[in-house]
Amino acid sequence: MKREIEGTGLSGKMGVTLAAAAALLAPVPALAQRAAAPVDLTKQVQPVTPPAPTPVAPVVTAPIAPTPVPTPHWTQADAQALLVAIKAVGSEGLFPKDYQPEALSAAIVKGEGEELDKTATRLFSWLIEDLRDGRTPMTARVQWFAVDPDQDMNPTQLIVASALEKHDIKGALTALLPTHPDYAALKEALPKATTPKQTAQIRANMDRWRWLARDLGSQYLLTNVPEQMLRLTVRNRIIKSYKVVVGKPGRTATPQLAETVEGVIFNPTWTVPQSIVAGEGLGARLVNNPKQAEREGYKVTKAADGTIYVVQQPGDNNSLGRMKLDMPNEHAIFLHDTPSKAAFNQPVRALSHGCIRVQGAVELAMTMGILGAAMTPEDAALAHTSKVYTKVPMTKTFPVYITYFTVARDVTGMLRSFTDVYGRDAPVLASMAKPREAHTTQRKSTEEVVKLDNPL
């Protein structure tokens, strides 16, 4: 791969990228059928009248009341360990006062018994929920549609039971912390903050990491919208980073998602939205002029009801460019290439209708194909240069996270503040300044799912 791949414009530098990524990743009988017995069709079968059914009285089943879960028993030593953990939770960007250390201290003084059991279980459960799922209520998470799976994989009741059985309160809480290096960097920066504003922003962004899965996976894509950058990450090491164009503020802002790439599409087609086909007259202009449509790279069809459909064919002028990542979601948001490269040179790149345009998208597509679909570099190059629509299904799980961090490490590893391009800090900071709210069953934003006619 040191030589340039013909037709891709990718030099040996890409080979180093792919080699580094590849090196990090190297590591019912059928039932027998019985033969049917022969049937004599010449004999007439006499109908048999079935006996009348015997009336049966309906069975009335009394509702079964749920078995109450007994309150776990706390020793004074375990309760004292919880009190120590509560007083130290400020280092994780949370507030000790939220977990009522005075009430726990008073229960400890009274000794073991029902009051200590109830108080310690309640406060331990609150601490577990906030460290695992985040303190910020869902109502303050604007356009947050990334469902955190941690509470399903590690339920509160089981954590409490295990911690008390092992007498390891501190270990149970430590096991809930995000594993991403950015969380550790924020935690390290928290005591060094010089102003209340800095402290609040760091706390808010530490909490945002808790909104995601504790472990993002061995390989994944992550876009930080305020930074307007995309990372291809393998084992928490950034293999490659790319500039991106994200959604404009307002109705076309890019939502926060946690999805899975199901396939890489080389040389995609683009179904032109009706706002352009009908609204801008593209369909009427091309429907009776197939040669002109072909010259412009479109395929036009007219349905029986008169609706005109226009599909842009693969090519350098396709609005999706030469690559699209197939990541099905209800928002119709995806990552793709673009023929309009100039936007990547702008310092503020919140310009799209919601989808994410990626600089160097062809290289990303090839790398994804190699890491996630077992393609060889030669196969990936061939899929690109064929200029034919080619969808390559993923054979490995490849998560993609679209996140929103206003204080985070940049792609060089330096902790920085980024412009709050969508104004999403304010509700988070306001919730952090208020007393803790009880968790609800809500798992994502209840705001409208904005699925635009033209998401590009």
**Tokens standing for 360?**
């160097």
Confidence of residue 3 (pLDDT cuts 50, 70, 90): very low
**Are 128 and 160 in contact, with CB atoms under 8 Å apart?**
yes
Virtual CA dihedral for 154, 156, 162, 168, nearest 10 degrees? 100
CA nearest neighbour of 266 among 386, 174, 155, 181? 386
Confidence of residue 20 (pLDDT cuts 50, 70, 90): low
List C-alpha distances in Å: 426 to 134, 136, 386, 422: 16, 12, 48, 10
- Which conformational region is residue 285 in: left (phi greater than 0), alpha (psi within -120 to 50 degrees), or beta? alpha
CA 139 – CA 126 distance, rounded (Å): 18
pLDDT, one tens digit per residue, over 280-307 is: 999 999 999 999 999 999 999 999 999 9
Q: Residue 10: its pLDDT value, please?
A: 52
**Are 353 and 338 in contact, with CB atoms under 8 Å apart?**
no
Q: Residue 41: its pLDDT value, please?
A: 34
Q: Residue 92, SS3?
A: helix
Q: Residue 15: its pLDDT value, please?
A: 55
pLDDT, one tens digit per residue, over 136-152 is: 999 999 999 999 999 99
Q: Residue 407: its pLDDT value, please?
A: 98
Confidence check: pLDDT of 177 > 80:
yes
> How many CA atoms lie less than 13 Å away from 214 in the CB half-sphere?
16
Confidence of residue 449 (pLDDT cuts 50, 70, 90): confident
pLDDT, one tens digit per residue, over 311-357 is: 999 999 999 999 999 999 999 999 999 999 999 999 999 999 999 99
Residue percentage of the chain with pLDDT more than 90: 82
65-70 contacts, C-beta under 8 A, 24 or more apart? 69/157
Q: Residue 14: its pLDDT value, please?
A: 56
pLDDT, one tens digit per residue, over 371-421 is: 999 999 999 999 999 999 999 999 999 999 999 999 999 999 999 999 999
pLDDT, one tens digit per residue, over 57-99 is: 555 555 565 566 789 999 999 999 999 999 999 999 999 999 9
**Tokens standing for 117?**
């059991």
In the chain the domains, ranked by start, together with CATH numbers, are 207-409 (2.40.440.10)
Confidence of residue 236 (pLDDT cuts 50, 70, 90): confident
**Are 411 and 188 in contact, with CB atoms under 8 Å apart?**
no
Q: Residue 52: its pLDDT value, please?
A: 56
* Rg, the chain, Cα only: 29
CA nearest neighbour of 164 among 83, 100, 79, 88? 79
Confidence of residue 456 (pLDDT cuts 50, 70, 90): confident
| Cβ burial, residue 125 (10 Å; 0-12/13-18/19+) | middle
**Are 263 and 394 in contact, with CB atoms under 8 Å apart?**
yes
pLDDT, one tens digit per residue, over 315-325 is: 999 999 999 99
Weakest-pLDDT range from 27-36, 223-232, 336-345, 346-355 = 27-36
Q: Residue 111: its pLDDT value, please?
A: 96
Burial 12-34 (b: 16+ CB within 10 A, else e): eebbebbeebeebbeeeeeeeee
What does pTM read for this prediction?
A: 0.84
